[in-house]
Amino acid sequence: MLLEGIGYFFLSTVKFAVATLPIARRFSYAEGLLISILGGILGIAFFLFLWDKILHVWRIYIVRSTKKKKKAFKINKKKRRIIKLKNKYGYWSIVMLTPLIISIPIGVFLLLQYYKSTKYKFLHLSLSVIFWGFTLISFFKYIW
């Protein structure tokens, strides 16, 4: 049971919404909230505060070693959707959809990429994880 809880804890650091259903089914309400919310906040902290270090190492060892001729910037469907999401819905949509639809690493990356000046990213993402944690655990535990 302890190893299972640790596994779900680490699953919720990356894909929060996927982890809440088995957590709600296997653990009590308080344990489920604790595992899912703390896992989500740990994932946000890890990817928010260490993303710069990861990208720095990536640029040094991977990009420089494979650096060739600089390619022209091409717009494809994926980039167009991300920019449309950013322009149409803005900062708060990325914050609220990160734990639910977008995975935590991708949501944090989008916030770091497009909103560099916002100071309270960690607080806003943590509040979003807490909100969705209560909502999803309550829904899966008592309604579904």
How confident is the model over 85-125, as pLDDT tens digits? 778 888 998 999 999 998 999 999 888 878 877 789 999 99
Kindly tell me if the per-residue pLDDT of 27 is higher than 90: yes
CA dihedral 53, 42, 18, 51 (to 10 degrees): -10
User: Which pLDDT score, from 0 to 100, does residue 68 have?
Assistant: 61
At residue 67, the pLDDT reads 59
* Local structure of 109: helix, strand or coil: helix
Which tens digit of pLDDT belongs to each residue from 47-89?
Answer: 988 876 777 787 788 777 665 656 666 778 878 887 887 788 8
Q: Which residue has the higher pLDDT, 26 or 83?
A: 26
Q: Which residue would you say has higher pLDDT here, 54 or 13?
A: 13
Using pLDDT thresholds of 50, 70 and 90, give the confidence band for residue 40: very high
Confidence (pTM): 0.81
The first and second tokens of residue 42, run together, are: 């740990």
Query: What was the pLDDT predicted at 45?
Result: 92
Between 27 and 78, the higher pLDDT residue: 27
Q: What is the largest CA-CA distance in the chain?
A: 57
pLDDT at 13: 94
- Going by the DSSP 8-state scheme, the letter that residue 72 receives in this structure is P
Tokens describing residue 78: 């994926």
